[in-house]
Amino acid sequence: MQLVALQMNAQTDWLQNRAQIQALLQRLPVERPCLVLLPENFACMGGITDYQALSEPLGSGPVQRQLSEWAKEFGIWLVAGSLPTWVSQQNRSHTTSLVFNPQGELTGFYHKLHLFDVDVADARGRYRESDTFVAGDDITVVPSPFGGLGLSICYDVRFPELYHLLRQHGADVLLVPAAFTKVTGQAHWLPLLQARAIENQCYVIAANQCGTHAGNRETWGHSVIIDPWGDILAQQGSQPGLIVATFDPQKTEHIRKTMPVQLHARLSPAWRE
């Protein structure tokens, strides 16, 4: 059972990005089942008008048809990092992660909960996702041969309570598609991801964008796969590519049995108020 993260340098043109993904998928391992994660904004890294032009209704549209075809063609579980999907009666979209099974069926989706409205000391300086997107309201865990797939997107990784809830709802693999900036990625990317793996005793797959994009945006790359003990199983550098690691459910079971942190947790909802 193989875990795969695809790292890419997406631009504003979907057709160009599609060709980049297609080339990377040709390099997948032959073993199945195989779980493949695409990064955030895999179809487009641009501005408000670019995302509005690309946005699709959930469950239909040319980008989602292509994702379904890839899942069937390669016989993979495909988690498409994030795609703009329409919000009824609004000029904004959700940024949505989509899960396709090897039959090409959409088996689950997640609308990003935490929007990246921050100032960063880089060439772009100001990020305001809420100008383009509407935040979601629900968590998602999707059943699969790899156990529960806990969905999240990029900035979510700074909010550990989300991942605790995903674990409580049966997550065994935490998925973190991202377009982490170069500045914040260099400082925080790996520590945050290892913490989410260790404290929840889950595998973490994190697929990031890399390089320079439209609007002076720079992303960190360094996509990574981490086991439930926090060990790094595979890591990409700063260039497009893919990384592969073997999924071992017995490792997860052993770690959770010998150190049952979920059973030991004593913070109650009343104490948090």
Catalytic positions, written as ranges: 40, 112, 154
- Strand ordering across the sheet containing 106-111: 106-111, 93-100, 77-86, 34-37, 2-7, 241-246
- 100 contacts 78 by C-beta, under 8 angstroms: yes
